[in-house]
């Protein structure tokens, strides 16, 4: 898989297993600077395992195999029991409870995260605008359990973007939000990412989400990347049996007006 100046992340032939169970089988993908890539598939397809491997959140019994290049940093997985998370990636987990210390107030956790990624504990003008767009201003002193899962997820999105990462990784970003709030939040996040030139990797089972926001998509099944390409083409005319099965069970007439461009500021 050749590299070029626009390439931010390249994953080559990633395989992982626990005992005899194959978690990932020869998966390759790439993300260009400023683009949005969706990794889609049903339950058990391997997409979340791929994400956990990429983020260094899992430790298979046997070493990983494959190579990763992120922002010029090369990692060879051979002989490594764990992948270290590359610097410059903002991550929002599917379950927002995993992103907070339940015993610390949210404003304290914001300040600590800000010190780490920006060197200062305050809220910048850019961050304040994003918090307002996400419905999180004023920033109140609450514990995580005092906020809904949707509010927690919105705060995690803002925290992931505060350091202006090269890549924003979203694991099922609408799972904790009702549809109307989800649309509002994702528009705000994608607008902000586009302004900053941040690439976005969305891991989701929601094909309509991929169709609306992703330039390109990768379809996964049983630990393999069975198909990849431009989102509009891929979802309208899938070439793999599994891709056709996914599309068959969705109402694609509702997506005829959906776009796959990152340019959504006009919405």
For 228-247, what is each residue's pLDDT tens digit?
999 999 988 989 988 888 88
Q: How far apart are CA 86 and CA 74, in angstroms?
A: 10
Q: Assess whether pLDDT exceeds 90 at residue 206.
A: no
CA dihedral 111, 117, 120, 123 (to 10 degrees): -60
Q: For residue 19, count other CB atoms closer than 10 A to its CB.
A: 8
User: Which of 233, 243, 208, 212 shows the shortest CA–CA distance to 36?
Assistant: 212
**Helices and strands (H and E) in the chain: how many:** 8, 10
User: Which of 27, 10, 6 shows the shortest CA–CA distance to 219?
Assistant: 27
pTM for this entry: 0.84
At what angle are helices 179-196 and 125-133 packed, to 10 degrees?
160
Q: What is the mean pLDDT of the chain?
A: 80
To the nearest whole percent, how much of the chain has pLDDT over 90? 22
Residues ≥6 apart with Cβ < 8 Å to 182? 173, 174
How many residues belong to the chain? 267
DSSP 166: S
Radius of gyration of the chain (CA): 18
Sign of the four-CA dihedral 18, 67, 53, 242: negative
- What's the mean pLDDT in 23-34? 91
Q: How far apart are CA 230 and CA 168, in angstroms?
A: 20
Q: How far apart are CA 39 and CA 173, in angstroms?
A: 12
Q: How far apart are CA 219 and CA 234, in angstroms?
A: 9
Q: How far apart are CA 49 and CA 252, in angstroms?
A: 27
Q: Assess whether pLDDT exceeds 50 at residue 100.
A: yes
What are the distances in angstroms from CA 214 to CA 37, 46, 61, 118, 123? 5, 19, 34, 28, 29
The pLDDT of residue 139: 67
- Of 266 and 21, the one with more pLDDT: 21
For 52-75, what is each residue's pLDDT tens digit?
777 766 655 556 788 888 888 887
> Structure tokens of 259?
């776009």
């Amino acid at each position: 898989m050749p590299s070029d100046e626009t390439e931010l992340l390249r994953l080559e032939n990633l395989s992982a297993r626990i005992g005899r169970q194959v978690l990932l089988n020869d998966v390759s993908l790439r993300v260009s600077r400023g683009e949005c890539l969706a990794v889609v598939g049903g339950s058990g397809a391997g997409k979340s395992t791929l994400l956990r491997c990429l983020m260094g959140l899992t430790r298979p019994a046997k070493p990983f195999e494959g190579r990763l290049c992120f922002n010029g940093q090369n990692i060879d997985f051979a002989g490594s029991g764990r992948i270290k998370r590359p610097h410059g990636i903002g991550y929002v987990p599917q379950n927002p409870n995993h992103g907070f210390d339940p015993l610390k107030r949210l404003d304290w956790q914001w300040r600590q995260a800000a010190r780490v990624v920006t060197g200062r504990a305050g809220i910048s003008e850019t961050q304040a605008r994003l918090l307002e767009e996400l419905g999180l201003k004023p920033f109140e002193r609450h514990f995580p359990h005092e906020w809904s899962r949707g509010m927690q997820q919105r705060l995690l999105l803002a925290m992931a973007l505060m350091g202006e990462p090269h890549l924003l990784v979203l694991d099922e970003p609408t799972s904790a939000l009702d549809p109307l709030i989800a649309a509002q939040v994702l528009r705000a996040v994608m607008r902000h990412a586009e302004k900053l030139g941040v690439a976005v990797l969305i891991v989701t089972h929601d094909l309509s989400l991929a169709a609306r926001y992703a330039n390109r998509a990768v379809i996964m099944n049983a630990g393999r990347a069975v198909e990849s390409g431009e989102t509009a083409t891929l979802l309208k005319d899938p070439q793999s049996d599994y891709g056709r099965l996914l599309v068959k069970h969705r109402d694609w007439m509702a997506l005829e007006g959906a776009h796959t461009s990152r340019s959504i500021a006009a919405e």
